[in-house]
């Protein structure tokens, strides 16, 4: 996969990512919908060390339904949601796929938390789907 680049709406925070992307997913959980203001979050998870962030995002922490700590990273100037972390997956960082300049590189492999999806959301039947978070 080529190097991935992106930035928030105002450009105050940018990133470069170069490495393996083991997970590309659409998450339909209520927390992801609320934190993005969208029908679901579209994420690419990478090793945190493979991502160089320029600028300092603000963070917000909350507990997931599984009791893990979720950390949302966002631009304090324009409010753009940037990254997400789950304490159960230490060392991994989820990039918000909509920020990536190389958008042709994103191909989701799975839909998770389909039990929480909005009724109007149509799922791609070619993707694996899980009612909650698998494994």
pLDDT digits (tens, 9 = 90+) for 92-128: 999 999 999 998 888 999 999 999 999 999 999 999 9
Question: Quick check: 1 pLDDT over 70?
Answer: no
C-beta of residue 75 within 8 angstroms of C-beta of residue 66: no
pLDDT at 126: 94
pLDDT at 15: 98
Question: pTM to 2 decimals?
Answer: 0.89
Question: Tokens 């934190």 label which residue?
Answer: 35
Distances in Å between the Cα of 80 and the Cα atoms of 2, 6, 74, 95, 121 are 24, 12, 5, 12, 23
Q: Which two tokens stand for residue 111?
A: 């839909």
Each domain of the chain, given as residue ranges in start order, spans 4-117
Distances in Å between the Cα of 86 and the Cα atoms of 10, 89, 114, 119, 129 are 26, 5, 19, 26, 20
pLDDT digits (tens, 9 = 90+) for 11-62: 999 999 999 998 899 999 999 999 999 999 999 999 999 999 999 999 999 9
Which CATH fold would you assign to the domain 4-117? Answer: 2.170.150
C-beta of residue 59 within 8 angstroms of C-beta of residue 75: no
């Amino acid at each position: 996969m080529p190097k991935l680049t992106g930035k928030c709406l105002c450009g105050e925070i940018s990133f470069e990512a170069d490495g393996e992307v083991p997970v590309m997913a659409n998450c339909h959980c209520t927390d992801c919908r609320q934190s993005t203001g969208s029908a679901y979050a579209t994420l690419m998870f990478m090793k945190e060390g493979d991502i160089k962030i320029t600028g300092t995002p603000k963070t917000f922490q909350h507990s997931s339904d599984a009791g893990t700590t979720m950390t949302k990273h966002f631009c304090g100037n324009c409010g753009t949601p940037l990254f997400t972390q789950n304490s159960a997956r230490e060392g991994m960082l989820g990039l918000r796929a909509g920020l990536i300049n190389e958008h042709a590189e994103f191909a989701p492999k799975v839909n998770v938390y389909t039990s929480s999806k909005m009724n109007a959301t149509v799922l791609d039947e070619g993707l694996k789907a899980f009612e909650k978070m698998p494994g």
